Structure 1
Amino acid sequence: MDELSIKIVMLLFPGIITTIFLDKFTEHKPWGNYIYSLLIIFYGILAYFTLQLIQLFSQFLHVGIDNWKEYKVVFLNSWQFVYNVSQKNEIPYSEIMWAGVVALINAMLLCRLEKTEVLSRFLQKCGITDKYGSYSVFVLMSKKYEGNYIDALFYSKNLMYRGIIDSINEKENEYELILRNVTLYRIEDSGNLKPISEMDHVCLACSYKDLILQSPNRPPSS
């Protein structure tokens, strides 16, 4: 690896941290190499930009509002380093390290934002979109009933699992679901459910076409 490649990898380090973190801890469709590269660059810029804002705010607090107009603002060395990356100049290790810390914090905040679905709900409330992120309807329903009972039906096998959703995962054309406090039922020809067994946990992995998710039946209203 030549010197230029090392410099580029070092600069992209904060973006790599955020992208790997989000890839590991958020539900999303698989990212191709092109999308992965774009996200690394975007989250890297976001980390340096956030670090720059923190530095400017620190300078403002140090100088004060009265002296701010005459103060010569100090910018990150990283911007100049990027501009002259092909030349021989010193790598700003300290800034890259702090940008890495900021990138990790950004990743946790973005992960929290994804989990709480604040952005999706806000856009839906504003009537901007009806789409709920990149989730399939299976994941969407699972997230809605997470922590509550749900029925997972396999009509091809005449089986139904009723349990509390503990964890979900989505792969391409495959859905994984972990349930706890599970009761397994056999679906009889009459449509009635016959309890077969109970278990603490069960992990289900299947293709979408083999599974139906539904909330447990409510008693008919009088």
Structure 2
Amino acid sequence: MNQFVVTLIIILIPGIIAAVICDKITVHSKWNAFKFGLYALILGLFAYAGLQIIFYAWDVIKSCSFDISNWSHLNVWSSTLSETHKISAKEVVFATMLSLPAAFFASFLINYKVFNKLAKMLKISSKYGDENLYSYYLNAKEIDWVYVRDIENNLTYQGRVESYAENDHMQELVMYDVTVFRYEDSVQLYSVPTIYLTKEMGRFIIEAIPKELLGEANGD
């Protein structure tokens, strides 16, 4: 393997770690290989940029001066452009340590739709986010108790959302404190601590339950 390629892989370690963490703790549409690589690159640059700011701050503290000529620059910037510059193991280790806060900060921006809200406030875009509406709806903070209508099987499930997932063909939902009613006449059938439901795309009807309607199967 080319030494330059090995250098790039080592340099990208903080970004890869940060991207893996972001993938696990954010709600988003599935990343393909290109997107994962792009996000790993961006998050890696973010980690190294944070490390560079720390180095600059330390230079200012040591010299008690803002003289830019005395500031030290990371070797990583030169290593990516030239094969003659060696990788600084210290910089890779420190940047890897910063990959966790970098991932948490990026996840905060994604999960709380910071850029989307800013764009909406500035009337630039009305896009709600990157994930599908199924995940977006169930991830809303006001979603707690819900009715899940399975009209085909004449059932209504009342319970609290525990977790959910979706792929190209199926939607999955786990609920707890579940009461099952007959859909057509709201007759209570049974109760269970938890339940796992799975259906083809779009076969669930999910409704948030207002507090005053808890205990009623169809909100009548």
TM bin, normalised by shorter chain, reads 0.7 to 0.9
Counterpart check, 1:129 vs 2:125: yes
Counterpart check, 1:199 vs 2:192: yes
**In 2, are the aligned partners of 1:152 and 1:212 still within 8 Å (CA)?**
yes
SS of residue paired to 2:139: helix
Per-residue CA deviation, residues 58-85 of structure 1 (Å, 9 max, x unaligned), is 2112222xx322751100111121121x
SS of residue paired to 2:70: coil
Count of residues in correspondence between the two structures: 212
Per-residue CA deviation, residues 171-216 of structure 1 (Å, 9 max, x unaligned), is 234322221111111212xxx2121111222222222321111123
The structure-2 alpha-carbon separation of the partners of 1:90 and 1:35, relative to structure 1 and needing over 3 Å to count, comes to: same
Where does the alignment leave 5 or more consecutive residues of structure 1 unmatched?
none
Which one of the candidate residues 66, 75, 90 is aligned to 1:77? Answer: 75
Which runs of 4 or more aligned residues in structure 1 lie more than 6 Å from their structure 2 counterparts after TM superposition? none
- Quote how far apart the aligned CAs of 1:95 are: 0.3
Partner of 2:27: 27
One-letter amino acid of the counterpart of residue 73, structure 1: W
Aligned positions of 1:98-113 closer than 5 A: 98-113=94-109
The structure-2 alpha-carbon separation of the partners of 1:123 and 1:204, relative to structure 1 and needing over 3 Å to count, comes to: farther
TM-score by length of 2: 0.86
**In 2, are the aligned partners of 1:27 and 1:169 still within 8 Å (CA)?**
no
Per-residue CA deviation, residues 99-149 of structure 1 (Å, 9 max, x unaligned), is 111111110122233333343333333333222102222222212255620
User: Take 1:13 and 1:145, find their aligned partners in 2: how far apart are those partners?
Assistant: 34
One-letter amino acid of the counterpart of residue 74, structure 1: S
One-letter amino acid of the counterpart of residue 192, structure 2: M
Counterpart check, 1:213 vs 2:211: no
- Quote how far apart the aligned CAs of 1:2 are: 4.5
Partner of 1:95: 91
**In 2, are the aligned partners of 1:27 and 1:170 still within 8 Å (CA)?**
no
User: Take 1:161 and 1:54, find their aligned partners in 2: how far apart are those partners?
Assistant: 53
Root-mean-square deviation (CA), in Å? 2.2
Task: Among all aligned residue pairs of Structure 1 and Structure 2, give the percentage whose two residues are the same amino acid.
Answer: 22
**In 1, are the aligned partners of 2:173 and 2:198 still within 8 Å (CA)?**
yes
**In 2, are the aligned partners of 1:168 and 1:177 still within 8 Å (CA)?**
yes
